[in-house]
């Protein structure tokens, strides 16, 4: 019985391996379909983004090819991919295809390509204003950008999806107001001296101070009830 069990186990392992090799050979490889080497255009939330074109010349479109960093996928990346496969709207980025590479366990996402994004528009006008060469964002462009953002967010909210990662930046409706103000003035509504426009890091101590001082100024915030305070908290009071 032991020999039979061992033989069946070995056969099962061989079948699994053969099936894996067969499916791997049949699976399309991103490097066989697209030219993208040396065409890195930036970074996304989860990895590097490349500008890509089809090798067979079947179309002349540019695509954005995102390589997920590391091996495998985080739960948040899985959720985002699952949502993007379901969501279809002109103002929500279109996920065209997902490529899996079992050799190096890499994941590639194929998107429509956009030449510019909102951050580059804001950064350009910020830099111009800082150099005393202020060029205001045209009102027609502000109106168009705001409409597209609101239309996309309305679609997401209608499908019970919260974006929570709007650049530039924070959570949905609040973020849209911040974006609108910055498009009109070419500077953040809570400007901080520490900010370096060459980076995309949105967290700055000085900026947080401005937010707390400006937003919560004059707002009476009741002190926590005694039963929720520790001894240390009581001493600090």
pLDDT of residue 228: 39
- Provide the pLDDT confidence category of residue 19 given band limits of 50, 70 and 90: low
> Bridge-partner residues for 100, per DSSP?
107
Domain range annotation of the chain: 30-112, 118-189
Which long-range contacts does 182-187 make (Cβ < 8 Å, 24+ apart)? 182/122, 183/121, 183/122, 183/137, 183/141, 183/142, 183/145, 183/146, 184/136, 184/137, 184/142, 186/122, 186/125, 186/126, 186/128, 186/129, 186/134, 186/136, 186/137, 187/126, 187/129
Residue 148 has pLDDT above 80, yes or no: yes
The mean pLDDT value for 40-55 works out to: 84
Q: Classify residue 131 by its DSSP letter.
A: T
User: What is the dotted CATH code of the domain comprising 30-112?
Assistant: 3.30.200.20
Mean pLDDT for 133-147 is 85
pLDDT(139) > 60 = yes
64 CB neighbour count, 10 Å cutoff:
21
Considering all CA atoms of the chain, what is the largest pairwise distance in Å, rounded to the nearest integer?
A: 86
65 with 56: CB under 8 angstroms?
no
* pLDDT above 90: percentage of residues in the chain: 10
Q: What is the pLDDT of residue 97?
A: 92
> Could you list the active site residues?
165
Q: What is the mean pLDDT of residues 127-134?
A: 77
User: Distance from CA of residue 231 to its chain's centroid?
Assistant: 42
What SS3 state is found at 227? helix
pLDDT, averaged across the chain = 73
| Mean pLDDT lowest among 12-21, 83-92, 129-138 | 12-21
Q: Report the pLDDT value the prediction gives residue 138, as an integer from 0 to 100.
A: 85
> Among candidates 213, 141, 209, which has minimal Cα distance to 179?
141
Average pLDDT over residues 155-178: 67
pLDDT tens digit sequence for 68-93: 877 667 787 788 888 888 889 998 88
Q: According to the annotation, is 66 in a ligand binding site?
A: yes
């Amino acid at each position: 019985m032991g020999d039979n069990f061992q033989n069946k186990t070995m056969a099962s392992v061989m079948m699994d391996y053969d099936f894996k090799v067969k499916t791997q050979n049949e699976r399309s490889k991103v490097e066989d379909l697209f030219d993208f080497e040396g065409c890195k255009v930036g970074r996304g939330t989860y990895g590097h983004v490349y500008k890509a074109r089809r090798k067979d010349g079947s179309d002349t479109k540019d695509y954005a090819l995102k390589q997920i960093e590391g091996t495998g996928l985080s739960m948040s990346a899985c959720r985002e991919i699952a949502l993007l496969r379901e969501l279809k709207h002109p103002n929500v980025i279109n996920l065209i295809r997902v490529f899996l590479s079992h050799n190096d366990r890499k994941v590639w996402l194929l998107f429509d390509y956009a030449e510019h994004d909102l951050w580059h528009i804001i950064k350009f006008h910020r830099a111009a204003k800082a150099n005393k060469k202020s060029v205001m964002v045209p009102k027609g462009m502000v109106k168009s950008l705001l409409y597209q953002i609101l239309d996309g967010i309305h679609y997401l909210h209608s499908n019970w999806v919260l974006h929570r990662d709007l650049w530039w930046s924070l959570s949905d409706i609040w973020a849209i107001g911040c974006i609108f103000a910055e498009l009109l003035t070419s500077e953040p509504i809570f400007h901080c001296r520490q900010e370096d426009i060459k980076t995309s890091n949105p967290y700055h101590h000085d900026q947080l101070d401005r937010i707390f001082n400006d937003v919560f100024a004059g707002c009476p915030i009741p002190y926590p009830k005694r039963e929720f305070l520790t001894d240390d908290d009581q001493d600090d009071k």
